[in-house]
C-alpha cells in the first residue's frame, strides 16, 4: 500500500492551521487550528472529518510551535491518523517568501532552510514562523519529506518589466528589492480552476484573478503563467486591503517621518495595520461595511468607494497587460461572498466585454460559477480558492509516487 496522506501546515507567528488529506480522492480527513501559541489561553480546535465525530476544542497553555505540533499529533492519533502512520507521505508547508530562487515546491533540507532564513529580512513577519513550523515538523518526523510550497513561486514567471521597480539597479540588486508578489498558491489554483470552469486548458486562457480577502491581490495570468501581480516586495503594495493601504506615493512615508515625527516602525504599523478599510472607516469586515452603508453611513460608503476605485484601476491595468482577457475571477472571503463588490468592480465596463448578471451574482454557493450574462465576451466568475488543497497537490506531486 502506498502512502497517500499529506499533512498541510500553515504556521503563523502564534498559530498553526492544519489539514490532513487523503490524496487518493483528495478528501479531508481532519482540519484544525492552534491559536494563541505562547499564551496562557492557547486553543486547539480539531475537526475529525474522517470519523464524522464532533469537533474537539481544548484550551490551556501551549508554550511553542513544538508543543503545538505535538498537540496536533495527539489529536490526530485519537482518530487513528497519527503522524507516525506509514500512510503519511509528506508534510506540505506554506512558506510565504521564496525569493527568486524557489520557483517550484521544494523538498526541504538544511540548504533550503538556510535560504529561507536568508529571506527573513524581506519577509520579517512570515518567514520566521514558517521556519519554526518546518524545523519542528522535521524534528518530529526526520524521515519524512517536508515540502515547502512558496507563496511567491507562481509569480516568478513575471517578466523583468513587471518585476522590477524603476529605481537604481545596483541598489535594488544589493538589497534584493523587486516585486515578488504573494498569494501565489491561490492565484495558481484559481486561474487553473477558472480555465476548468470554462472547459478549456490553462494554456489557452488569459485570466485576471482578484484574490479579495483581508489581504488582497490581483494577478494577470497569461496561458497559465503569471505576468503581473499587485503585491510587491512585501504584501503592502497594490489593492486597498482590510488593514493595509496598498499603493501610495512613497513620499508619504518621508513626509510622515520628517514632518509627522514618526519612526520607520510606526509608519510600518500605520500602513500595514491601521490603514486600508479599517483606517478609512474603522471596520475591515466587508459585511459590517455593507451593513453601515445600508444605514446611510458616509464613512463606510467612502471606504467602499476607495476600495472599488482601486480594484477597477487594476482590472483596467491588467486588461492592458494581457491584451485579451477570457475571464475575470473573484476569490477569497470578499471575492467569494460580497456580491456588491463584484457588481461595482465591473459596473459600466460593457465596452470591455465585462458585465455581471444580477440574478447569478446574488446566488450564494460554494461552487465555482459564472456570474456574467450568457454570451458575454469575457467570463466573470466566482471561484472559491483552496490553498490547502493546492499545497497538498503540489506536495504529493513531488513526493507521492516515490513512497511505498
- As measured in angstroms, the least distance from the Cβ of 387 to ligand AMP is 10
Give the contacts of 242 (CB within 8 A, at least 6 positions apart). 213, 214, 215, 216, 276, 277, 278, 284, 285
- The answer to whether 94 is annotated as binding is yes
- The answer to whether 211 is annotated as binding is yes
Give the contacts of 74 (CB within 8 A, at least 6 positions apart). none
- As measured in angstroms, the least distance from the Cβ of 235 to ligand AMP is 12
- The answer to whether 138 is annotated as binding is no
Comparing CB distances to ligand AMP, the nearer of 145 and 238 is 238
- The answer to whether 324 is annotated as binding is no
- The answer to whether 93 is annotated as binding is no
Write down the catalytic residue from 25, 143, 151, 294. 151
How far apart CA 206 and CA 226 sit, in angstroms, is 10
Q: Check: CB of residue 137 under 8 Å from CB of residue 131.
A: no
Nearest to 65 by CA among 42, 41, 92, 31: 42
Cell numbers at 73, concatenated: 499529533
Please report where in the chains the cell 470554462 appears, as a residue. Answer: 198
| Phi, psi angles (nearest 5°) of residue 238 | 105, -125
| Phi, psi angles (nearest 5°) of residue 139 | -65, -35
- The answer to whether 360 is annotated as binding is no
Q: Check: CB of residue 312 under 8 Å from CB of residue 239.
A: no
- The residues that touch ligand AMP, with contacts defined as CB under 6 A, are 213-214, 242, 284-287, 332-334, 337-338
- As measured in angstroms, the least distance from the Cβ of 13 to ligand AMP is 16
How far apart CA 252 and CA 267 sit, in angstroms, is 10
User: Could you confirm whether 228 is annotated as catalytic?
Assistant: no
Comparing CB distances to ligand AMP, the nearer of 13 and 100 is 13
- As measured in angstroms, the least distance from the Cβ of 371 to ligand AMP is 15
Comparing CB distances to ligand AMP, the nearer of 163 and 338 is 338
Comparing CB distances to ligand AMP, the nearer of 5 and 244 is 244
- As measured in angstroms, the least distance from the Cβ of 114 to ligand AMP is 31
- The answer to whether 257 is annotated as binding is no
Count of beta carbons in the 10 Å neighbourhood of residue 33: 18
CA 211 to chain centre: 8
**DSSP E strand stretches across 105-164:** 106-107, 146-150
Q: Check: CB of residue 162 under 8 Å from CB of residue 179.
A: yes
Count of beta carbons in the 10 Å neighbourhood of residue 251: 9
Please state whether beta strands 43-47 and 56-59 pair in parallel, antiparallel, or not at all (unpaired): antiparallel
Comparing CB distances to ligand AMP, the nearer of 278 and 378 is 278
- As measured in angstroms, the least distance from the Cβ of 364 to ligand AMP is 8
Comparing CB distances to ligand AMP, the nearer of 332 and 379 is 332
Annotated binding-site members: 10, 17, 94, 211-215, 285-287, 333-337, 387
Annotated binding-site members for substrate: 94
The catalytic residue positions are 151
Amino acid at each position: 500500500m502506498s502512502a497517500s496522506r499529506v499533512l498541510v501546515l500553515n504556521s503563523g507567528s502564534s498559530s498553526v492551521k492544519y489539514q490532513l488529506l487523503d490524496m487518493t480522492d483528495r478528501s479531508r480527513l481532519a482540519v484544525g487550528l492552534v491559536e494563541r501559541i505562547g499564551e496562557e489561553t492557547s486553543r486547539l480546535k480539531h475537526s475529525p472529518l474522517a470519523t464524522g465525530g464532533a469537533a474537539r476544542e481544548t484550551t490551556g497553555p501551549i508554550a511553542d510551535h513544538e508543543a503545538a505540533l505535538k498537540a496536533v499529533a495527539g489529536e490526530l492519533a485519537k482518530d487513528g491518523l497519527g503522524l507516525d502512520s506509514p500512510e503519511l507521505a509528506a508534510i506540505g508547508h506554506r512558506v510565504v517568501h521564496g525569493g527568486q530562487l524557489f520557483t517550484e515546491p521544494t523538498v526541504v533540507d538544511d540548504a533550503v532552510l538556510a535560504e529561507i532564513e536568508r529571506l527573513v529580512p524581506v519577509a520579517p513577519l512570515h518567514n520566521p514562523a514558517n521556519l519554526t513550523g518546518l524545523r519542528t515538523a522535521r524534528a518530529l518526523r526526520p524521515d519524512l519529506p517536508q515540502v515547502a510550497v512558496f507563496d511567491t513561486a507562481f509569480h516568478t514567471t513575471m517578466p523583468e518589466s513587471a518585476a522590477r521597480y524603476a529605481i537604481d539597479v545596483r541598489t535594488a540588486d544589493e538589497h534584493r528589492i523587486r516585486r515578488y508578489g504573494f498569494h501565489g498558491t491561490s492565484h495558481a489554483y484559481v486561474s487553473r480552476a477558472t480555465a476548468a470552469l470554462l472547459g478549456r486548458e490553462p494554456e489557452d486562457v488569459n485570466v485576471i484573478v482578484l484574490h479579495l480577502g483581508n489581504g488582497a491581490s490581483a494577478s494577470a495570468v497569461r496561458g497559465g503563467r503569471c505576468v503581473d501581480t499587485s503585491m510587491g516586495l512585501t504584501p503592502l503594495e497594490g489593492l486597498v486591503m482590510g488593514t493595509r493601504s496598498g499603493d501610495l506615493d512613497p513620499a508619504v512615508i518621508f513626509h510622515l517621518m520628517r514632518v509627522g515625527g514618526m519612526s520607520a516602525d510606526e509608519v510600518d504599523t500605520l500602513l500595514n495595520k491601521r490603514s486600508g478599510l479599517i483606517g478609512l472607516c474603522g471596520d475591515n469586515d466587508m459585511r459590517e461595511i455593507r451593513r453601515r452603508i445600508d444605514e446611510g453611513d458616509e464613512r463606510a460608503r467612502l471606504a467602499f468607494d476607495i476600495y472599488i476605485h482601486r480594484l477597477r484601476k487594476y482590472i483596467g491595468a491588467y486588461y492592458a497587460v494581457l491584451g485579451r482577457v477570457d475571464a475575470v475571477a473573484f476569490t477569497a472571503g470578499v471575492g467569494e461572498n460580497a456580491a456588491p463588490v463584484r457588481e461595482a468592480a465591473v459596473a459600466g465596463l460593457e465596452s470591455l466585454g465585462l458585465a455581471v448578471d444580477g440574478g447569478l451574482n446574488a446566488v450564494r454557493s460554494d461552487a465555482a460559477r459564472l456570474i456574467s450574462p450568457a454570451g458575454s465576451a469575457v467570463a466573470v466568475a466566482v471561484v472559491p480558492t483552496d490553498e490547502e488543497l493546492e499545497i497538498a497537490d503540489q506536495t504529493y506531486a513531488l513526493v507521492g509516487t516515490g513512497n511505498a
